[in-house]
Amino acid sequence: MAASDQKLAIVILISGNGSNLQAIMDAIDHGELPATIRAVISSRQNAYGLQRAVTAGIPTEVLKHEDYLDRKTYDHALQTRIDHYQPGLIVLAGFMRMLSANFVSHYAGRLLNVHPSLLPAFTGLNTHQRAIDAGAKEHGASIHVVTEELDAGPVIIQARIPVSGDDSTETLAAKIKQLEHRIYPLVIRWFAERRIHIQEDSVVFDGKPLTGPLDYPSIKKATR
User: Which residues are marked as active site?
Assistant: 115
- Under 8 Å between Cβ of 107 and 78: no
**What is the CB-side half-sphere exposure of residue 79 using CA atoms within 13 A?**
16
Three-state SS letters, 129-179: HHHHHCCCCEEEEEEEECCCCCCCCCEEEEEEEECCCCCCHHHHHHHHHHH
H/E stretch holding 199: strand 196-199
d(C-alpha 113, C-alpha 33), whole Å? 17
3-state secondary structure (DSSP) of residue 62? strand
CA distance 167 to 144: 26
> In Å, how far from its chain's centre is CA 142?
9
Query: Within 40-157, where are the H helices?
Result: 48-55, 71-84, 101-106, 127-133
